[in-house]
């Protein structure tokens, strides 16, 4: 995103660029279309976890088809199909595979999956079941096996009894050209249990307002899932792989409380 936002980006030719790999989190479709236009048909999405050794799913350049309409429009938001020698399923709470188009947890089975967590039998029992590794990611697969991630299971917000997936809201926030980074968290609310809060980092010199971003999300997602508040920061906390540390963002709001949902 920062490369696309750099004023120098359009000054150069990228004809010699063979492959541009993005990972760690799905791209907002608008940003991905911008990247394809800027760098060419070279974008590749790898989805993986340390427990599964290498890419679990892969969306190669030939599957990035921004001009071909459905279903390819939806697949731009996804992580592609299972990579070689891996089985991937979308399962329910009972570990049973769900029908295409139904949300569930992404599970993987492969020679490269770890047998468990060393000296942590409880975590092993929770994540490794019936030969499958449960990734903790919620996803949806289409009839051809292309998977779209909905969110991390632990990041889901429950507001007024409704389940809200932060990644869905973040995707709309990132569709705005001036938003470089966005994180959506649940914060305490006396009436709804949790309220949707967005924390964003904007392009240098941008004059975005809280009201603009809330209105954008209301228009695309409805009032229920739109943020109730937006905070702007110079920089969001990230780990070494670039993932936003939502636990750090949530902590101040839930400090001193007995629960964090």
* Neighbour count for residue 115 (Cβ, 10 Å): 9
pLDDT digits (tens, 9 = 90+) for 25-78: 778 889 999 999 999 999 999 999 989 988 999 999 999 999 999 999 999 999
Q: Return the biggest CA–CA distance within the chain.
A: 56
pLDDT digits (tens, 9 = 90+) for 190-213: 888 899 999 999 998 888 999 999
Report yes or no: 124 and 132 within 8 Å, Cβ to Cβ: no
Report yes or no: 185 and 250 within 8 Å, Cβ to Cβ: yes
pLDDT digits (tens, 9 = 90+) for 68-115: 999 999 999 999 999 988 999 999 999 999 999 999 999 999 998 999
How much is the pTM?
A: 0.80
At residue 215, the pLDDT reads 97
**Rg (the chain; Cα; Å):** 19
At residue 260, the pLDDT reads 56
């Amino acid at each position: 995103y920062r490369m696309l936002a750099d004023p120098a980006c359009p000054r150069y030719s990228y004809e010699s660029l063979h492959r541009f790999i993005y990972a760690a989190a799905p791209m907002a479709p608008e940003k991905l279309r911008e990247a394809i236009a800027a760098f060419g048909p070279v974008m590749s999405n790898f989805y993986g976890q340390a427990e599964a050794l290498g890419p679990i799913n892969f969306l190669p350049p030939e599957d990035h088809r921004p001009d071909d309409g459905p279903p390819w429009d939806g697949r731009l938001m996804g992580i592609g199909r299972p990579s070689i020698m891996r089985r991937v399923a979308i399962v329910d709470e009972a570990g049973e595979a769900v029908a295409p188009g139904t949300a569930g947890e992404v599970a993987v089975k492969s020679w490269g999956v770890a047998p468990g967590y060393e000296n942590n039998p409880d975590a092993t029992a929770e994540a490794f079941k019936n030969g499958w590794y449960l990734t903790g990611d919620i996803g949806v697969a289409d009839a051809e096996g292309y998977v779209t991630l909905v969110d991390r299971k632990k990041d889901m917000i429950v507001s007024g009894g409704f389940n809200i997936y932060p990644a869905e809201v973040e995707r709309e926030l990132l569709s705005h050209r001036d938003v470089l980074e966005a994180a959506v968290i649940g914060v305490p609310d006396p009436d709804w249990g949790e309220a949707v809060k967005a924390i964003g980092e904007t392009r240098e010199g941008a004059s975005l307002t809280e009201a603009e971003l809330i209105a954008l999300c209301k228009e695309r997602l409805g009032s229920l899932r739109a943020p109730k508040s937006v905070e702007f920061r110079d920089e969001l906390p990230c780990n070494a792989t670039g993932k936003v540390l939502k636990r750090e963002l949530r902590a101040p709001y839930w400090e001193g409380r007995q629960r964090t949902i």
